[in-house]
C-alpha cells in the first residue's frame, strides 16, 4: 500500500500586523517547528485521521465530507477542496504530530493544512504549483472550516526558505524571499494566555479599518498614506486603527530595505515601533504581551520585539543575537514569571525552509 510523509512549518509574523485583509504587505518567516504527518492510501473511499496526544480517531468518506467542529476539519477540508479541484485522491489514513505551541499565533492551522496537502500530492502522485497549493489550503479554511483568513499563513508555510524572510503582497498575491542577516535568530515567547481571535474584537477591527478606507475614499487602507490620514476627519478610534495599518505597511517596506542592507538594528527599531502602535492605535496587545516585550527589550543582544499574530493574547517575537539566544530565553522566562505569575514558554527558533522545495 502506498505511503508518504510530510512536514509543514509554522510561521511567525515579523511585521505587517492585520495588514492582510486591508490589501497590504506583510513580512513573515517559516520556523523550525511545525506539523508532521505519516499517511497511507486505502483501497476504499474512507479517510481515517488520528493525532498524537488526542484520543480516538475521526473518519469520513472522501466523496461526502462534512465539517464536524474538531481539529480534523482542517485536513478534511483540504482533502475536499483538492478533490473538488479535480486532483486524483481517494481514501487514506494519516497520523499527525506537532511540536508547535497551540494558541501562540504561530499558525498551527495552516501548518496542518499544508502538511495534509503536501502529503496528498505524494501519496497520490500529482503536482500542484506552490501558490495554487496555498490558495487551496486557504479555501479549505475559509469555506470548510469557516475561518475568514488571508493567504499569509499558508504562503509562509509553503514558501519559507532557510535564513530568508517572506515578503507577501496580499493584494497582488506575489511572494518574494528576502535574505535575513547571519548571526541572528528569533525568540518566540508564549505569554501563557491563549491567543483568541474568535471573539468580537477581530471583526470590530476589520469593520473599523473598512470604515476608515471609505472615509478616505480608497478601496482599501493599502492605498492610503499617513499624510492623507493626518488630514482626514473621522472618529478618533477609527483614525487610530487606520494609523496602525498604514504605519505597518510603511514599516514592512522599510524593513525589506533594511534586510537588503543587512541593517539588523534598523529592523529591530521597526519591530519596537510596531508594538507601540499595537498598544496605542490598534489596542490588540495585552498586559502580558507588553510585559514580555518590555522584559525582552531590556536584555543585551535583543534588537527588537513585538507581539506576533492577531494579538489579544498569544506570543511575542524578538530578534536576538544568535550567541545570546539561550541566556536571553532563560532570563525572559524567569523575569516574566516573577513579574506576572504566568509561566511563559520561550521557543528558540531558526528561520527555516517551507514545506515545498522550490
CATH for 122: 3.30.230.10
Average pLDDT over every residue of 176-183: 94
**Cα separation, 145 vs 73, whole angstroms:** 6
Cell numbers for 222, please give them.
493599502
83 assigned to some structural domain: yes
Give residue 323's pLDDT: 96
Q: Is 153 a catalytic residue?
A: yes
**Cα separation, 284 vs 297, whole angstroms:** 19
Q: Assess whether 169 and 303 both reside in one domain.
A: no
Give residue 358's pLDDT: 42
**Cα separation, 263 vs 255, whole angstroms:** 9
Give residue 11's pLDDT: 94
Q: Over 70: is that where the pLDDT of 320 sits? A: yes
Q: Over 50: is that where the pLDDT of 95 sits? A: yes
Give residue 302's pLDDT: 98
Average pLDDT over every residue of 41-54: 95
Average pLDDT over every residue of 165-185: 95
Q: Assess whether 26 and 168 both reside in one domain.
A: yes
Q: Over 80: is that where the pLDDT of 103 sits? A: no
Of the residues 69, 153, 169, 257, only one is catalytic, namely 153
Cβ partners under 8 Å of residue 203, min gap 6: none
Give residue 357's pLDDT: 57
pLDDT tier at 199 (50, 70, 90 boundaries)? low
Mean pLDDT of the chain: 94
pLDDT tens track for 230-261: 999 999 999 999 999 999 999 999 999 999 99
Residue 236 burial (C-beta neighbours within 10 Å; 0-12, 13-18, 19+): exposed
pLDDT tens track for 327-338: 999 999 999 999
Cell numbers for 91, please give them.
481514501
Q: Assess whether 339 and 240 both reside in one domain.
A: yes
| Number of independent structural domains in the chain | 2
Cell numbers for 354, please give them.
517551507
356 assigned to some structural domain: no
- The pTM of the full predicted model, rounded to 2 decimals, is 0.91
Amino acid at each position: 500500500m502506498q505511503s508518504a510523509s510530510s512536514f509543514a512549518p509554522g510561521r511567525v509574523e515579523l511585521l505587517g500586523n492585520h495588514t492582510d485583509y486591508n490589501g497590504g504587505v506583510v513580512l513573515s518567516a517559516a520556523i523550525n517547528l511545525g506539523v508532521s504527518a505519516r499517511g497511507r492510501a486505502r483501497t476504499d473511499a474512507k479517510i481515517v485521521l488520528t493525532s498524537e496526544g488526542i484520543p480516538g480517531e475521526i473518519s469520513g468518506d472522501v466523496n461526502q465530507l462534512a465539517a464536524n467542529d474538531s481539529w480534523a476539519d482542517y485536513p478534511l477540508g483540504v482533502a475536499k477542496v483538492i478533490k473538488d479541484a479535480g486532483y486524483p485522491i481517494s481514501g487514506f489514513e494519516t497520523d499527525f504530530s506537532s511540536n508547535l505551541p497551540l494558541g501562540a499565533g504561530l499558525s498551527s492551522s495552516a501548518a496542518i493544512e499544508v502538511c495534509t496537502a503536501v502529503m496528498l500530492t505524494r501519496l497520490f502522485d500529482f503536482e500542484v504549483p506552490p501558490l495554487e497549493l496555498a490558495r487551496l489550503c486557504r479555501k479549505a479554511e475559509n469555506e470548510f472550516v469557516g475561518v475568514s483568513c488571508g493567504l499569509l499563513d499558508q504562503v509562509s508555510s509553503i514558501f519559507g526558505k532557510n535564513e530568508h524572510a517572506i515578503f507577501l503582497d496580499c493584494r497582488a498575491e506575489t511572494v518574494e524571499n528576502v535574505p535575513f542577516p547571519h548571526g541572528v535568530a528569533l525568540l518566540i515567547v508564549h505569554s501563557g494566555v491563549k491567543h483568541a481571535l474568535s471573539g468580537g474584537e477581530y471583526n470590530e477591527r476589520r469593520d473599523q479599518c473598512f470604515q476608515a478606507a471609505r472615509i478616505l475614499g480608497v478601496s482599501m487602507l493599502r492605498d492610503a498614506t499617513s499624510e492623507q490620514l493626518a488630514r482626514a476627519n473621522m472618529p478618533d478610534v477609527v483614525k487610530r486603527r487606520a494609523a496602525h495599518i498604514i504605519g505597518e505597511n510603511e514599516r514592512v517596506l522599510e524593513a525589506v530595505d533594511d534586510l537588503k542592507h543587512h541593517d539588523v538594528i534598523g529592523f529591530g527599531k521597526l519591530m519596537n515601533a510596531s508594538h507601540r502602535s499595537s498598544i496605542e492605535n490598534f489596542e490588540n496587545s495585552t498586559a502580558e504581551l507588553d510585559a514580555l516585550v518590555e522584559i525582552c527589550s531590556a536584555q543585551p543582544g535583543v534588537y527588537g520585539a513585538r507581539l506576533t499574530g492577531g494579538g489579544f493574547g498569544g506570543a511575542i517575537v524578538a530578534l536576538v543575537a544568535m550567541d545570546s539566544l539561550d541566556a536571553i530565553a532563560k532570563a525572559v522566562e524567569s523575569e516574566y514569571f516573577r513579574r506576572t505569575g504566568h509561566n511563559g514558554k520561550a521557543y528558540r527558533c531558526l528561520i527555516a525552509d517551507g514545506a515545498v522545495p522550490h
